[in-house]
Chain A
Amino acid sequence: MSGEWILYIVFGATALVSAIGVVFLANPIHSALSLIGALASVAGLFLAQEAFFLSVVQIIVYTGAVVVLFLFVIMLLGIDSADPREEQLLRRQWFPWAFLGGVIGVGGLVLTITGIDLPFGVSGTDTADAVNEAGGNVQALSERLFTDWLLPFELTSILVVAAIVGGVVLAKRTKDLRGSGMGLTPDLAERISEEVEADAAEGELDPEDAFEADDVDPDPDSDAVLVGETSENGEG
Chain B
Amino acid sequence: MEFLQTPPDPDAYIVLAVFLFSIGAVGFLVRRNAIVMFMCIELMLNAVNLSLVSFGRALSDLSGQILVFFVLVVAAAEVMVGLAILVAIFRRRARASADDMSSLKG
CA gap between A125 and B95 in the complex, in Å? 52
Task: Mark contacts of B64-82 with chain A using CB atoms, 8 A cut-off: 1 yes-contact digit, 0 otherwise.
Answer: 0110111011111111110
- Residues on A with beta carbons closer than 8 Å to the beta carbon of B58: 118, 120
Residue ranges of A at the interface with B (Cβ–Cβ < 8 Å) = 1-2, 4-5, 8, 12, 15-16, 19-20, 22-23, 28, 31-32, 35, 38-39, 42, 45-46, 49-51, 53-54, 57-58, 61-62, 65-66, 69-70, 73-74, 76-77, 79, 83, 85-86, 89, 99, 102-107, 110-111, 116, 118, 120, 122-128, 130-131, 140-141, 144-145, 148-149, 152, 156, 159-160, 162-164, 166-168, 170-171, 173, 181-182, 184, 188, 192, 196, 224-225, 227-229, 232
> Are A12 and B16 within 8 A (Cβ)?
yes
> Are A73 and B18 within 8 A (Cβ)?
no
Distance (whole angstroms) from the CB of B10 to the closest CB of chain A = 6
Q: How many residues of B contact A (CB 8 A)?
A: 83
- Residues on A with beta carbons closer than 8 Å to the beta carbon of B54: 49
Q: Is the interface of B mostly helix, strand, loop or mixed?
A: helix
Q: List 16 A-B contacts (CB under 8 A).
A: A22-B27, A32-B35, A42-B20, A49-B13, A51-B56, A61-B76, A86-B33, A102-B30, A127-B60, A144-B66, A145-B69, A163-B80, A168-B84, A170-B81, A192-B94, A232-B99
Distance (whole angstroms) from the CB of A14 to the closest CB of chain B = 11
CA gap between A140 and B88 in the complex, in Å? 43
Residue ranges of B at the interface with A (Cβ–Cβ < 8 Å) = 1, 4-8, 10-16, 18-27, 29-33, 35-36, 38-40, 42-43, 46, 49-50, 53-63, 65-66, 68-70, 72-81, 83-88, 90-92, 94-97, 99-100, 102-103, 105-106
